């Protein structure tokens, strides 16, 4: 299924049912009093987070949602039935905005989390409600109120612990294939990856983390070059960024300059994302000889004045990936422990 991370939908809650004007009419009971029943409440529309979904693609085909209207009241004091609520299931990690006011209504972060986005109308009142000592035969009733109507903008931000960052053809998709069960497309041309992929990495039983692979960035992405920065928002929930660097680019470019260009694009998109914890992963080291590898990689690190963690790997042969995975797992567990202590 095609990955879609933005959608606009129209929702309309059910109107309340109208009240009824009716009088009791039975044999041997002259001048029966009012017996008009109330209407039923209109159905509401709810957003429900569902862990089984991972895309908003379904909303490309169905954009209009309406809940059931409340039934009208009837004679003999019969109350109209309540309209059924309508549940719209969306992936976990979906942000719901009011398109007209740009207000963030909710961020659905947990499976099963529910949010009422349009409340159903209130029921109308039957003429029985207007009976009094001075008005024994009221012919007055009240219609139900209209249900809320909204235009909503849905944005999906993937929930991942680690995000892969780098230029096209740096080996990000090969890395996620090597360390997880995800199988993104891999080829020897730029922008093979056109939409984000998620992979679950199991270091050992009961110890795992989620990795997000996004399409590559190029210089000028903030201005729309390449695929632009439209997928960078999927890294905003990650706690750690892995900057994957091709140590032997096919175009002969300088890896250190490539890293600096990506960092500039990252900071243009979000200062917060630019300051996030980032590790350097030098990939495709198997293309270098044993004598070249150490001095060449050291030169890249020195050219960047890099002070953070550095890992030398070959995603294709999985060389050096185990130490990287263990280091990531330990870092994530420390983060989770810190969050648990704060709460």
Domain-embedded: residue 212: yes
* CATH value at residue 274: 3.40.50.300
Distances (CA, A) of 157 to 33, 39, 90: 60, 41, 12
| CB of 324 closer than 8 Å to CB of 209 | no
Residue 93 shares a structural domain with residue 192: no
- Work out the average pLDDT over 241-256: 82
What is the C-alpha to C-alpha distance for residues 246 and 258, in angstroms, rounded to an integer? Answer: 9
pLDDT score of 227:
55
pLDDT score of 332 more than 90:
no
Residue 125 shares a structural domain with residue 172: no
Query: Which range, of 142-156, 214-228, 229-243, 291-305, averages the lowest pLDDT?
Result: 214-228
Q: Taking the model in full, what pTM does it have? A: 0.68
pLDDT score of 190 more than 60:
no
What is the C-alpha to C-alpha distance for residues 283 and 305, in angstroms, rounded to an integer? Answer: 19
What is the C-alpha to C-alpha distance for residues 172 and 212, in angstroms, rounded to an integer? Answer: 10
Query: Which range, of 125-134, 206-215, 307-316, averages the lowest pLDDT?
Result: 206-215
Cα 147 to the chain's mean position, in Å?
27
pLDDT score of 1:
38
Distances (CA, A) of 36 to 14, 130, 133, 276: 22, 10, 17, 65
Which of 156, 184, 212 corresponds to the end of one domain? 156
State both tokens at 333. Answer: 């567990």
pLDDT score of 70:
94
Residue 31 belongs to domain spanning: 6-156
Residue 72 shares a structural domain with residue 173: no
pLDDT-above-90 percentage for the chain: 25
* CATH value at residue 93: 2.70.210.12
Residue 117 shares a structural domain with residue 131: yes
Tell me how many domains the chain contains: 2
Residue 170 shares a structural domain with residue 132: no
C-alpha dihedral sign at 104, 106, 109, 111: negative
Residue 135 shares a structural domain with residue 226: no
What is the C-alpha to C-alpha distance for residues 83 and 315, in angstroms, rounded to an integer? Answer: 56
Q: What is the pLDDT of residues 51-64, one digit of tens each?
A: 888 778 788 788 99
Residue 289 shares a structural domain with residue 320: yes
Domain-embedded: residue 1: no
255-269 vs 290-304: helix crossing angle, rounded to 10: 40
Instruction: Indicate the pLDDT class of residue 182, thresholds 50, 70 and 90.
Output: low
Residue 145 shares a structural domain with residue 43: yes
Residue 21 shares a structural domain with residue 110: yes
Q: What is the pLDDT of residues 7-55, one digit of tens each?
A: 899 999 999 999 999 998 888 877 788 999 999 999 999 999 988 887 7
Domain-embedded: residue 126: yes
User: Any idea of the CA torsion for 329, 335, 338, 342, to the nearest 10 degrees?
Assistant: -140
Residue 116 shares a structural domain with residue 140: yes
pLDDT score of 259:
84
State both tokens at 275. Answer: 């300051």
Domain-embedded: residue 125: yes
pLDDT score of 191:
52
Domain-embedded: residue 225: yes
Residue 320 shares a structural domain with residue 234: yes
pLDDT score of 336:
76
> Which residues, other chains included, contact 263 with Cβ-Cβ below 8 Å and sequence gap of 6+?
274
C-alpha dihedral sign at 326, 329, 335, 339: negative
Which of 139, 156, 173 corresponds to the end of one domain? 156
Domain-embedded: residue 284: yes
Which of 156, 172, 195 corresponds to the end of one domain? 156
DSSP 1-40: -----EEEEEEEPPPPPPP---B--BTTBTT--B-PPP-P
User: Which of 79-88, 156-165, 235-244 ranks highest by mean pLDDT?
Assistant: 79-88
Domain-embedded: residue 207: yes
DSSP 268-330: HH-HHHHTS-EEEEEE-GGGS-HHHHHHHHHHHHHHHT--S-EEE-BTTTTBTHHHHHHHHHH
Query: Which range, of 212-216, 224-228, 305-309, averages the lowest pLDDT?
Result: 224-228
pLDDT score of 2:
45
pLDDT score of 4 more than 60:
no
How many residues are listed for the chain in this entry?
Answer: 343
What is the C-alpha to C-alpha distance for residues 273 and 257, in angstroms, rounded to an integer? Answer: 19
Q: What is the pLDDT of residues 131-178, one digit of tens each?
A: 988 888 898 999 999 999 999 999 887 777 888 888 887 788 888 888
Domain-embedded: residue 177: yes
Q: What is the pLDDT of residues 87-110, one digit of tens each?
A: 999 988 888 999 989 899 888 888
Residue 39 shares a structural domain with residue 145: yes
pLDDT score of 261 more than 80:
yes
Among 282, 11, 277, 45, CA closest to 149 = 11
pLDDT score of 301:
84
């Amino acid at each position: 299924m095609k990955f879609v991370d933005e959608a606009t939908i129209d929702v309309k809650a059910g109107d309340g049912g109208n009240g009824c004007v009716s009088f009791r009419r039975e044999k041997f009971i002259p001048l029966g009093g009012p017996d008009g029943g109330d209407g039923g409440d209109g159905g509401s529309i709810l957003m429900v987070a569902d862990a089984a979904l991972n895309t908003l693609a379904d909303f490309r085909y169905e954009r209009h949602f309406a809940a059931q209207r409340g039934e009208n009241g009837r004679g003999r004091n019969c109350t109209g039935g309540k309209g059924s609520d309508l549940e719209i299931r969306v992936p976990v990690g979906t942000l719901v905005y009011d398109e007209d006011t740009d207000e963030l209504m909710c961020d659905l972060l947990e499976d099963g989390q529910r949010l009422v986005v349009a409340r159903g109308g209130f029921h109308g009142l039957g003429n029985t409600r207007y009976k009094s000592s001075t008005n024994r035969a009221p012919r007055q009733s009240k219609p139900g109120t209209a249900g809320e109507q909204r235009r909503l903008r849905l944005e999906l931000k993937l929930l991942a612990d680690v995000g892969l960052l780098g230029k096209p053809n740096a080996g990000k998709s090969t890395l996620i294939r090597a360390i997880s069960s995800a199988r993104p497309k891999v080829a020897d041309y730029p922008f093979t990856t056109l939409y984000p992929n998620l992979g679950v990495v199991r270091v050992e039983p009961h110890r795992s983390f989620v990795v997000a692979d996004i399409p590559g960035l190029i210089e000028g992405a903030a201005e729309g070059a390449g695929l632009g920065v439209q997928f960078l928002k999927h890294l905003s929930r990650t706690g750690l960024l892995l900057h994957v660097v091709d140590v032997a680019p096919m175009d002969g470019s300088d890896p250190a300059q490539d890293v600096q260009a990506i960092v500039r694009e990252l900071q243009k998109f979000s200062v917060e994302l630019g300051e996030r914890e980032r590790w350097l992963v030098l990939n495709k080291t198997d293309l270098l000889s044993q004598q070249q590898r150490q001095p060449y990689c050291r030169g890249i690190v020195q050219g960047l004045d890099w002070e953070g963690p550095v890992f030398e790997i070959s995603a294709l042969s999985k060389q050096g990936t185990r130490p990287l995975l263990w280091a990531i797992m330990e870092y994530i567990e420390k983060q989770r422990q810190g969050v648990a202590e704060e709460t």
